[in-house]
Amino acid sequence: RGSGRFFIGGNWKCNGTIDSVTQLVKDLNAGSVPSTVEIVVSPTFVHLDMVKRTLRAPFQVAAQDCWVSKGGAFTGEVSAEMLHDFGIPWVILGHSERRSLCREDDELVGMKCEYALSQGLKVIACIGETLEQRESGHMWDVIDAQLQAIANHTTIGNWTNMVVAYEPVWAIGTGVVATPEQAQEVHAHVRAWVAKNVNPQVADTLRILYGGSVNDQNCETLANLEDVDGFLVGGASLKGPSFIKICNSEH
Ligand code: PEP
């Protein structure tokens, strides 16, 4: 296990109304969470500032994406420096929905990591294989290429400002959670890859999150795995009481 604090991310994706977000913030603020866990929730860009202003510590916020370079004539985009200016500490990059639906490739994700880190943001970098890649025997190549692109764009010193989320695409939003064996196998591989290709000390401290159909029923088993240092939670992060339970899953 990485030596950093257990980490729970909540990815709200493209969900929420002013009312539902206000209620979710209320539920989180009323919840009891351990001070030893780092917790970051990620509303949409339009809800981000409102959530940041109303959510109590220790909850932090993350954006779900940002532009690859300095802002300017990039209609529809939000830049890393804008997020930093608003006091948003974290950004999720390379989520599988952006990789598949918005055609973000490994190189673009690596470049986004580099720019966001250079602007003082901390990064939740997402990797993970599709079912087809797993079943055709290409899983390790896919994961290694995703890691390599991130590593190519990250200085050794900046790895302390990054967590890696392993999210098998076939487990995201499907209700099909990875088995503990499947999750542990990939997490151990990621840590070994980082030890070999980046630096053993970075690997020791790196938090590797699991994401994909985590809920308040399966979180405890997964939280006990040797190389699982936290979770990135989608659907279950929209339900305050479930998310609070997941925040309490590490014992
Ligand atoms: C995610 O989108 O990061 C995710 C893990 O989604 P879900 O928990 O809904 O599978």
Residue at 228: amino acid letter? V
Confidence of residue 4 (pLDDT cuts 50, 70, 90): confident
Kindly state the percentage of the chain with pLDDT values over 70.
Answer: 100
pLDDT of 1 higher than 80: no
Report how far ligand 1's centroid is from the alpha carbon of 8 (Å).
Answer: 12
Catalytic residue among 95, 153, 187, 189: 95
Percentage of the chain with pLDDT > 90?
A: 98
Nearest to 79 by CA among 127, 118, 40: 118
Which pLDDT does position 114 carry in this prediction?
98
Question: Is 95 one of the catalytic residues?
Answer: yes
Q: What pTM, to 2 d.p., does this model score?
A: 0.98
Whether the per-residue pLDDT at 183 is higher than 80: the answer is: yes
Is residue 232 a contact partner of residue 211, using CB atoms and an 8 Å limit? yes
Return the SS3 of 38.
Answer: strand
Q: What is the pLDDT of residues 106-117, one digit of tens each?
A: 999 999 999 999
> Is pLDDT at 189 greater than 90 in this prediction?
yes
Q: Which residue has the CA at smallest separation from atom 2 of ligand 1? A: 234
Q: Give nearest CA residue, ligand 1 atom 6.
A: 234
Quick one: pLDDT at residue 12? 98
pLDDT tens digits along 133-180 = 999 999 999 999 999 999 999 999 999 999 999 999 999 999 999 999
pLDDT value, residue 125: 98
Return the number of other C-beta atoms located less than 10 Å from residue 121's C-beta. 23
Average of per-residue pLDDT values in the chain: 97
Residue nearest to atom 4 of ligand 1 (CA): 234
Q: Where are the domains of the chain?
A: 7-247
Kindly give the number of the ligand 1 atom that is closest to the alpha carbon of 233. 8
- Residue 3 reports pLDDT greater than 90: no
> Looking at residue 2, what is its pLDDT?
76
Residues with CB under 6 A from ligand 1: 11, 167, 172-173, 211-214, 232-236
Pocket test for ligand 1, best of 8, 11, 99, 237 (most atoms within 8 A of CB): 11
User: For ligand 1, atom 1, which residue shows the shortest CA distance?
Assistant: 234
Sign of the torsion formed by the C-alpha atoms of 167, 171, 174 and 180? negative
Domain 7-247 of CATH type 3.20.20.70: yes
Residue 119 has what pLDDT?
A: 98
pLDDT, tens digit (0-9, with 9 covering 90-100), for 54-94: 999 999 999 999 999 999 999 999 999 999 999 999 999 99
Beta-strand relationship, 162-166 and 90-93: unpaired
Which one of 38, 81, 97, 167 is the catalytic residue? 167
Cα(153) to ligand 1 centroid in Å equals 25
Q: What is the ipTM of this complex?
A: 0.97
SS3 for 110-165, per residue?
HHHHHHHHHCCCEEEEEECCCHHHHHCCCHHHHHHHHHHHHHHCCCHHHHHHEEEE
Q: Is residue 167 flagged as an active site residue?
A: yes
Atom of ligand 1 nearest to the CA of 174: 10
Q: Which of 15, 95, 233 to mutate to test the pocket of ligand 1 (most atoms within 8 A of CB)?
A: 233
